[in-house]
Structure 1
Amino acid sequence: MKAKKIKIKRKRKQTNKQKKYELHTHTKYSDCSNIEPINILKKAKQKGLNGIAITDHNTIKGALQLKKLNEKSTENGFEIIIGEEISTDKGEIICLGLKKEIKPGKLFDVIHEIKKQKGIIGIPHPYGKGIVRKSLMLKLNKTEKEKLMKDIDYIETNNGRSTKTENKKAKKLCLLYRLTEVGGSDAHFINEIGNIITIIPANETLNTAIKKKKTYVLETNKSSWVLKIKSGILKLKKKMIKRN
């Protein structure tokens, strides 16, 4: 009898023919974060990233500030993506490649505004659960889900603050609708940057790689529950200050 050949699945190795991106990061302009934009730039470069998307809640102030800082840098080739994590009546949605800030509103109205700017549309933490919020896929009915999936460019299949179960469900959703997968640390504190990265071919732009589904996700670390609690406390403190 001939011995059967056993196929061994090997982990993908990073090479200089690839580019690494952090696609979900917050700055001090989000209530849940205290990161100064200048520190994000330093940390991202220390981590060997090729680019980073700033996705603050309902604002692009941090992203614009970081872009200006990057333009003054003597190091060339690092990319700042102007993004925004936008609140809608159904949950949060992420867009990348914005030119102007988009205000919170009804889900499909927000998507319409993103398309007008030719932005990339993604679903962050599709099944994530917070103390006072539920993510997008937990609040949509079947008809709304089917309509949404026609507008989406990518699913965040690995979020640094979601549980393994939540991320597995996100991966299944991505496969079901044959969408592009990306990962993001959802960094609220400086040491979370680069925990989850999205890797693309070196000869592609981020936009084309997402459109062509030429991405894969690498997890190097996960955020602890301590950091999640800290960001929750920080958010409450900032809201109290605003009220006063």
Structure 2
Amino acid sequence: MTFIQETGNAAAGSPGDRRIDLLRLDMHVHSAYSLDSMVSIDALVRAWRKNRVLSLVCDHDSIEGSRRAYTRIREIDPDIPLILAEEITTDDGEIIGVFLTEEIRPGMSAAETLDTIRDQGALAVVPHPFCTFRSTAIRRETLYEIIDRIDIVEGFNARNPSPAENDLAAAYAQELGKPISAGSDAHLPYELSRTYVEIPLFDDPKTLLTALDGASATIRRAHPVNRHLSKVVQRVKEAAGHPSRS
């Protein structure tokens, strides 16, 4: 994957700035169905309408945000596939399932979670694999044990404070010949449409993997304060009983 580093706070340009045969896909986004996110379903739909950046919504232990977002987006563009996704908390760290058919419960081992993802005909993505500041990142020894069962490695996570750890993830994926993803890991509305891959249109797991071959990614690092703001969001939502997410 070719990474194109952008600076500044601007989101993606207008739809006219892109090739019509390519799709802009931010491959790691959280909606308000994640306790630490305040990205509404409306904001995800606006990102598609305004910037033509599709968000791969993978909430913590929930597919409901992706279901609601894609139901709305597919009303605008029926050719967009229904992508149900979830960032699943395993006993060994987080794994993302993409093109799920059912929600996967947290708390299983990484191996059991991968079994469930595969049973659904879905793809397994390992997010921020070498990130050391997240306690939820996949354990290094577990990663090495399961890597043959991983379909995609996240080679750039905008919220990773260490560029070297992103570089390590991308190099590891390239060494193993694994497809690479890039995502904003957006939890706040202004993080949307800032990081995305540009790939040919796809409609199922197989064609998504094919589309990532030789893809390019526009990347922008998130400000470190965003992670602290997410913690504030979580505390407020916990106190309020996790209110409306629409």
Same fold per superposition (TM over 0.5): yes
Q: In the superposition, relative to structure 1, how do residues 36 and 196 fare at CA in structure 2: closer, same or farther (>3 Å)?
A: same
Report the TM-score, using the length of structure 2 for normalisation: 0.82
User: Is 1:52–1:81's contact at 8 Å kept on the other side of the alignment?
Assistant: no
Choose from 22, 43, 48 the match for 2:47: 43
CA contact (8 A) 2:23 2:198 kept: yes
Residue number in structure 2 paired with 1:221: 220
Task: Tell me which residue corresponds to 1:167.
Answer: 166
Alpha-carbon distance in 2 for matches of 1:128, 1:69: 33
CA distance in 2, matches of 1:47, 1:60: 24
C-alpha distance in 1 between matches for 2:200 and 2:47: 22
Give how far 1:169 is off: 0.9
Structure 2 residue runs of 5 or longer lacking an equivalent are: 5-16
How many angstroms does 1:240 deviate by?
4.6
In structure 2, give the amino acid aligned to 1:208.
K
Alignment of 1:143-158 (within 5 A): 144-158=142-156
Gap runs ≥5 in structure 1: 1-8
Q: Is 1:207–2:205 an aligned residue pair? A: yes
Whole-Å separation in 2 of the counterparts to 1:70 and 1:16:
17
Alignment of 1:27-42 (within 5 A): 27-42=31-46
1:4: which partner in 2? none
Cα distance change on mapping 1:173 and 1:206 into 2, 3 Å: farther
Aligned to 1:5: none
| Cα distance in 2 for residues equivalent to 1:214 and 1:240 | 44
> What is the deviation of 1:220?
4.2
Counterpart amino acid of residue 41 in structure 1 = V
Q: Is the CA contact (8 Å cut-off) linking 2:48 and 2:73 kept in structure 1?
A: no
**Candidates 122, 132, 135, aligned match of 2:125:** 122
Give, in whole Å, the separation in 2 of the partners of 1:146 and 1:180: 16
Counterpart residue type for residue 127 of structure 2: P
- The counterpart of 1:96, out of the listed 98, 117, 141, is 98
Taking the aligned partners of 1:130 and 1:37, their CA distance within structure 2 comes to: 28
Q: 2:30, 2:186 within 8 Å by CA — same for their partners in 1? A: yes
Q: Tell me the secondary structure at the aligned position of residue 27 of structure 1.
A: coil
Deviation of 1:198 (Å)? 1.7
Q: Is contact 1:196-1:220 (8 Å) kept?
A: yes
Q: What SS does the aligned partner of 2:174 have? A: helix
1:198 and 1:159 map into 2 onto residues whose CA distance is 12
**Is contact 2:22-2:199 (8 Å) kept?**
yes
Partner amino acid, structure 2, of 1:152: I
Amino acid corresponding to residue 140 of structure 2 in structure 1:
L
Q: Please tell me the residue identity of whatever aligns with 1:194.
A: S
Question: Which protein has the larger Cα radius of gyration, Structure 1 or Structure 2?
Answer: 1
Give the superposed CA RMSD. Answer: 2.5
TM-score, with structure 1 as normaliser: 0.83
Q: Between Structure 1 and Structure 2, how many residues are aligned?
A: 226
Mapped contact 1:26–1:35 kept (Cα < 8 A) = yes
Q: Distance in 2 between matches of 1:217 and 1:86?
A: 26
